[in-house]
Structure 1
Amino acid sequence: MNYYFKLIPNDNLDQIIPLVYELNDAKVSKALLRSRFKDMQHQNYKCAGIFIDNELVGITGLWFSTRHYIGKSVELDHVYIVPKHRGNGLGKRFMAWIYKYAKECGCDSVELNTYVQNYPSHKFYYNEGFQILGYHFLKKL
């Protein structure tokens, strides 16, 4: 399989909408996702993709910031690999690429949130050396 990883230009984020839509089980409309990503492209956001023979099969958002407790950090967001491409080490290779890219950007750490019931992701991130630091709280206004 001929795969590669690369940044997706912020003016071309429409191509990730189908994968983010799948990730969220269609709970957020594609139109709303397009609107939100249009806003995000003007913030400290980048998106990386996994491509196999020019087909986008995986994504992650990358939010860059400096945190008082860890320094310059990248927070992964909407990490998703199409199910038929999971379980073959592709995620591990993608994470290695992300770590290298984050270091090149001067980051000291990588952070992420994962849904409480997403047990397979917990195992994956533990195996990647992540530790649980706290709880993520949300209040809709």
Structure 2
Amino acid sequence: MSKLNIRRLYKEDINTFLPLIQELMGNRVDKATLTSRFKDMFEHRYECYGIYVDENLAGVFGLWFATRHYCGKTCEQDHVYIKPEYRSMGLGKQIFKWIFDYAKEKGCTTAELNSYVENYPSHKFYLNENYVIKGYHFLKQLD
């Protein structure tokens, strides 16, 4: 079995993880815009992690920490992405176990996330991890 290692990444590491975020987003947002957004995100209770398999960057995910009126202290998983060649190896279960353990250490009582509507494989995975669908995520572009 390959050795999994999860390492915290910082805004100085942006060029390491940004190509994976662009893959996840289908290159819909240019590099300069994403760089600016991530620099801002790092200033607001956001943490980024690289997923390494045998020292190779295999994926990336972000975590947001907040206290919300409807669920208490929570850890929101953001932009969870594993490169295609590393999928179906059981990494997802290992990564989410790491996330849940880490969130509990930080005092979180819930975990939450958003998933693109068309990302059916992730929906199956999240439901198998005992997430429940609680609502819809609405987005309005402001001119």
Equivalent pair of 1:75/1:111 in contact (CA under 8 Å): yes
Range with greater deviation from structure 2 (92-101 or 6-15): 6-15
Q: 1:73 matched to which residue of 2? A: 74
SS, match of residue 19 in structure 1? helix
In 1, the alpha carbon distance for the partners of 2:37 and 2:110 equals 26
Runs of 4+ in 1 over 6 A off after TM superposition: none
* Letter of the structure 1 residue corresponding to residue 45 of structure 2: N
Specify the alignment match of 1:27 in structure 2. 28
Question: What is the aligned partner in structure 2 of residue 113 from structure 1?
Answer: 114
Structure 2 unmatched runs, 5+? none
Percentage identity across aligned positions?
A: 52
Q: What are the ranges of 5 or more consecutive residues in structure 1 without an aligned counterpart?
A: none
For residues 138 and 12 of structure 1, what CA distance do their matches in structure 2 show? 29
1:113 maps to a residue whose letter is: N
Shift of 1:54: 2.3
Which residue number corresponds to residue 94 of structure 1?
Answer: 95
Q: Which residue of 2 aligns with 1:59?
A: 60
Task: State whether residues 11 and 41 of structure 1, in contact with CA within 8 Å, keep that contact through their aligned partners in structure 2.
Answer: no
TM-score w.r.t. length of structure 1:
0.95
Letter in 2 for 1:27: R
Helix, strand or coil for the counterpart of 1:38?
helix
SS at match of 1:93: helix
SS of residue paired to 1:20: helix
- Structure 1 SS opposite 2:17: helix
Residue number in structure 2 paired with 1:5 = 6
Report the Cα distance in structure 2 between the residues aligned to 1:119 and 1:2, rounded to whole angstroms.
Answer: 27
- What SS does structure 1 have at the residue aligned with 2:88? coil
1:14: Cα distance to partner?
A: 2.9
Instruction: Quote the offset at 1:90 in angstroms.
Output: 0.5
CA distance in 2, matches of 1:128, 1:48: 20
